[in-house]
Copies of this chain bind each other. A is one copy, B any other.
Amino acid sequence: MTPSPREPPPVLGGGTGRAFHADGGEPLHLRLARSALCPDGLTSPEAVEAWLAEARDGDRMTVRPAPLSELPGWNVDPRTGDLTHVSGAFFTVHGLAVEHRDAPVPRREQPIIDQPEIGILGLLVRAFDGVPHCLVQTKAEPGNVGGVQIAPTVQATRSNYTRVHRGRPVPYLEHFRTPSRGRLLVDVRQSEHGAWFLRKRNRNMVVETREDIELLPGFRWLTLHRLHRLLDRDDLVNMDLRSVLGCLPVAGPGAAAALAPTGGFQDALARSLDASPGLHADADLLHWITERRTRTDVRVHRVPLSGMAGWRHDGTTVTPEDGRSFEVAGVTVGTAGREVDDWSQPVVRPLGTSVAAFLVKRIDGVLHLLAQALAEPGCSDVLELAPTVQCVPHDLDGGPPQVRPPFLDDVLAAGPDRVRFAATLSEEGGRLYHARGRYLIVEAAPGDGGPDEGPEESPDFRWLTLRQFAALLPHSHYVNVQARSLLACLYSLPGR
């Protein structure tokens, strides 16, 4: 069907290539909606529980603290204190000076993980009885709370998959290294935490295959519905899988009807995924992002890990003198069933649980999310769109009230009538140790002017629809990892 010439022009892009037309006619987002509403599928709820129990029983990973100066395979530079792997691969921990003219603290120093390699977070999709299923695995990481979590099909750094550590090959990697075997749905470099990583990016990839795939131990095919039912269990669906789920192209015309909403919030959510116009035109949102990126003056430069103002590097750990933010520590890991059996490494251990919360509001019956343009030291391009609230309350305790982020107290105080999603979820456990966040989706309290009233926008905040987020997600550097996690959580709400 040819679009009408009276349709407004595409601004965040539009139209698609022929591959979608050649594929039996049904658009991808409608097939994904079917997967999101499909309670059955290859793996029943009972089979999921048995699979998780088996993985936990089989988990042999042991993690013991070790002084940074005594990690086999790692060097502490005698001059700078920087931590590097003897192979030159994996990652480095060094210091970073951050100058942000308009921030409450204009200049500060901190450790940062420098991992220039781009890894692959790959999700393999296959339709069974017409319903797309995702191939996921149980995976233990040294920093995980609870040991085993649910991970995407492939989760591999470049050092992993080029086998720098001479370990076992990564299962199913060939589907992402030679994706012409399947149909490429998503391939975008997305950032990870800009507070801890310097310009780290991983490829978030989704490939649909029609091949018969051997199911290796530890792997299962789950519908989106089944995955969504696991998302709000604490520390279960890992960050890498949430990030990829957040990048799935689930928005598009017809989404509202396909999701069979049941009124109220569900209606507004479904319409937000559809082609409904938002409060702001797409061009105005891109202008806002360009304007914030142009006006924000953040400069970073590398400094030695030893001798940073406010930090103590004693060879065992690198610790903040004020007891806030995070420390750098060492761990020795023993395991069976991994690419290599034993290793040691530095980790970043946050000293508090973070909060990541989107305020959402129905505007003209369409759900909008209040996005924050947030500059973090590790951002590749000045800033990205973050949740309405993203901070570590522990780091604020006893601090001056003016650095308390807007909306923090509101989302923490919200009652169950406003909270649409709440779970404590783990950040990635390969570099971070017991890093957890309280993930919340909270409806804005109605203002005096009626249900459409609510918090006003300020220069760093704008209301976006889910379709507008989805239109930014095929491109790098727009939506940060906490926001992608929360999008995955929002996508899990239809059908509840």
Contact = CB atoms under 8 A, between A and B. Distances in A.
Interface of A: 1-21, 25, 27-30, 118, 179, 184-189, 203, 249, 251-254, 257-258, 275, 277-287, 290-291, 293-294, 380-381, 467-468, 470-472, 474-476
A470 B188 CA distance: 19
Q: Which has the most chain B C-beta neighbours within 10 Å: A27, A290, A380?
A: A290
A176 B459 CA distance: 17
Nearest to A297: B116
Contacts of A467: 14-15
A463 B373 CA distance: 35
Contacts of A189: 290, 293-294
Given A3-B7, A8-B20, 10 more contacts: A3-B3, A9-B29, A9-B253, A14-B275, A15-B282, A19-B280, A19-B284, A179-B287, A184-B284, A185-B283
Given A3-B3, A258-B5, A287 B11 contact: no
A16 B281 contact: yes
Contacts of A179: 287
Nearest 7 A/B pairs, CB to CB:
A5-B254, A17-B281, A12-B13, A13-B13, A13-B471, A19-B281, A9-B252
B16 A277 contact: yes
18 contacts: A5-B30, A6-B25, A7-B253, A8-B27, A10-B249, A11-B249, A13-B13, A14-B14, A14-B275, A14-B471, A15-B253, A17-B283, A18-B281, A186-B283, A188-B290, A380-B381, A381-B476, A475-B475
A101 to B, nearest CB: 14
Given A179-B287, A286-B187, A294-B189, A11 B9 contact: no
A395 B63 CA distance: 58
A384 to B, nearest CB: 13
Contacts of A11: 13, 16-17, 20, 249, 474
Contacts of A286: 187-188, 474-475
Contacts of A471: 10, 13-15
A188 B294 CA distance: 10
A305 to B, nearest CB: 20
Contacts of A18: 277-279, 281
A14 B17 contact: no
Given A3-B7, A15-B467, A279-B18, A187 B381 contact: no
A376 to B, nearest CB: 18
* Chain B CB within 10 A, most for which of A6, A118, A254, A281: A281
A275 B3 contact: yes
Contacts of A16: 8-12, 277, 281-283
Nearest to A464: B17
Contacts of A381: 380, 476
The winner among A4, A14, A286, A287 for most chain B CB atoms within 10 A is A14
Contacts of A281: 16-20, 184
Contacts of A203: 290, 294
Max chain B CB contacts within 10 Å: which of A15, A252, A285? Answer: A15
Contacts of A277: 15-18, 20-21
A185 B9 CA distance: 11
Contact of A253 (B5, B21, B285, B380): B5
A467 B470 CA distance: 19
A185 to B, nearest CB: 6
Nearest to A294: B118
A429 B476 CA distance: 32
Contacts of A29: 9
